[in-house]
Amino acid sequence: MQFSDSIFVAGHRGLVGAALVRGLRAAGFTNLLLRTSAELDLREQAAVRQFFATERPKYVFLAAAKVGGIWANQTSPADFIRDNLQIQTNVIDAAYRSGVQKLLFLGSSCIYPKFAAQPIREESLLSGSLEPTNEFYAIAKIAGLKMCAAYRRQYAFDAISAMPTNLYGPGDNFNPETSHVIPALLRKFHAAKMHGEKEVVVWGTGAPRREFLHVDDLASACLHLMQNYSAEGCVNVGCGEDLSILELAGLVADVTEFGGRIVFDDSRPDGTPRKLLDTSLLDSLGWAPSIPLRQGLEETYRWYAEHAGSS
């Protein structure tokens, strides 16, 4: 990519899209095409085709998606599969038709089987059953990466796919009904501290293990892949280390300075027992993360306390 090339960041107001914009601007890219969902509804095929025909971006980062945690996925499965299929189908097809030089599709590590061998290699895709709590979202994301592969195979369209692990960072979604685990815990522990509560209840047993990557590290990896990778297979993006939810809760309690008890509600679902990505392919391409988990949690908590931490 040249600094003056037109680059469409789809979903630039989301956690990942905003990080991509920060990363691109910091790297010197100046010609960014950005549209809010009110300005361009990516679920509407005609609107997407018109946008691409008019603006003719040269590169596309497809970070737009409907996302959420276990509760959101369980209560709105139709919304998750419909909206994500519509968004990615419209953008990938319109990008090819309008002559986009290269597109990067953002997937999710939930595409892998629930009981995949750990750490999870890219080859584990479709080798077993998905985690039921987010299978509709996962199926949509699998369709997206397969669409990229199909358009590469049939039309020689340079579409690549990156599969990030669990993400967090400033600008995350802290809504208690739709958030992922880190923002949910930060909000919960912050509120308990502010209200003088003696304990915090965390969903599940605390036993599942998760890997977390700061969203600015993901943005850095995506820029690296756009410049250095061109193949049909997806690429795992992670840090190569995980910890238990129990350990994470303790770390969040420490970061938020909550001094009470942590209680685990084992009547609530745990989700996948473990989800650690094998990042050997990305390692071989010369990229590595730079933000340690505690540093990233402290930064994210500061952002939350400043922007939405009155509750």
Which residues are identified as catalytic? Answer: 137
Is 175 within any annotated ligand binding site?
Answer: no
Is 129 within any annotated ligand binding site?
Answer: no
User: What angle, 0 to 180 degrees and rounded to 10, lies between the N-to-C axes of helices 245-256 and 293-307?
Assistant: 50
Is 220 within any annotated ligand binding site?
Answer: no
Is 67 within any annotated ligand binding site?
Answer: no
Is 203 within any annotated ligand binding site?
Answer: yes
Is 14 within any annotated ligand binding site?
Answer: yes
Is 36 within any annotated ligand binding site?
Answer: no
Is 20 within any annotated ligand binding site?
Answer: no
Neighbour-count burial for 30-66, b at 16+ CB within 10 Å, e otherwise:
eebbebeeeebbbbeeebbeebbeeeebbbbbbbbbb
Is 190 within any annotated ligand binding site?
Answer: no
Is 11 within any annotated ligand binding site?
Answer: yes
Contact yes or no for 19/162 (Cβ under 8 A): no
Q: What is the dihedral of CA 257, 258, 263, 268, to 10 degrees?
A: -70
Residues comprising the binding site?
11-17, 106-109, 141, 164-167, 180, 188, 203, 210, 270
Residues annotated as binding site for NADP(+)?
11-17, 106-109, 141, 164-167, 180
Known binding residues for substrate: 188, 203, 210, 270
